[in-house]
Amino acid sequence: MVYFLLTLTNELSALEMIAFVLAYFLSVCIAMTFHEFSHAFVATKMGDPTPRLQGRLTLNPFSHISLIGMLCFFIVGFGWAKPVEVNPLCFKKFRAGMAWVSISGIISNIILAFVFSGLFYFSLLLNSSNLFFFFLQYFLLFGFIVNVSLAIFNILPIYPLDGFNFIKSFLKYENKFVLFMERYGSLILLIVLITPLFDLFYNFVVIGIENLFFGFWGLFL
């Protein structure tokens, strides 16, 4: 994000830069808030009162956002929120509860990405050049990109991501894959992030999702 801003310094005015940063900040807040709220909401519905008791069953961004995680979003384009704590022993159905709680954040981000893609698609049909419209279009664009990014990243079956927890819910604790990931998953995740491997996967999937969503919204024109 910081690098991208530096490349735009000579192209944007001071007010446009502020609008650009604000659009990115708000899109990240919304994406992370809904992601964590979804975990808390589903866990509560499955019978675990922990998220509610810890104040996580809310759409208040301040209850979910990590300051360090948000700062990392701006500096390196990768960050995190405060993880929602759950007690699986309280779930009415242990495996079903674990599975739905794990996948709920990803589903919420996909839904948001779909909504933002539609709003952005139709905003392209409007002809305006004022500052608010500049902010609005970038907000909608970032809303799509950030939510897709969170969904794609978290769906990876690597500890401690949601994709791993989803798969783990169907496996025995002594499963070799589970034990391996819990021991080396953080290292594997770091390697994935610093190599072009994830970028290639990410770009391929994002383009595919973008074409799919925009193709859908195009049916209405």
Q: How many CB atoms lie within 10 A of CB 153?
A: 20
pLDDT score of 3: 53
Q: Is 173 exposed, middle or buried (0-12, 13-18, 19+ CB in 10 A)?
A: exposed
Q: Which of 24, 31, 47 is nearest to 100 (CA)?
A: 47
Structure tokens given for 16: 């446009």
Region 189-200 average pLDDT: 82
Active site residue 210: no
pLDDT of 159 above 60: yes
pLDDT score of 123: 92
1 vs 116: which has the higher pLDDT: 116
pLDDT score of 13: 85
pLDDT score of 31: 96
pLDDT score of 213: 95
What pLDDT, in 10s, does the model give residues 27-45? 999 999 999 999 999 999 9
By residue range, what is the domain housing residue 109? 2-218
pLDDT score of 174: 85
Structure tokens given for 186: 């953080």
- Number of domains observed in the structure of the chain: 1
What pLDDT, in 10s, does the model give residues 59-79? 999 999 999 988 888 887 778
Cβ-Cβ contacts under 8 Å for 191 (sequence gap 6 or more): none
Of residues 11, 36, 85, 210, which has the active-site annotation? 36
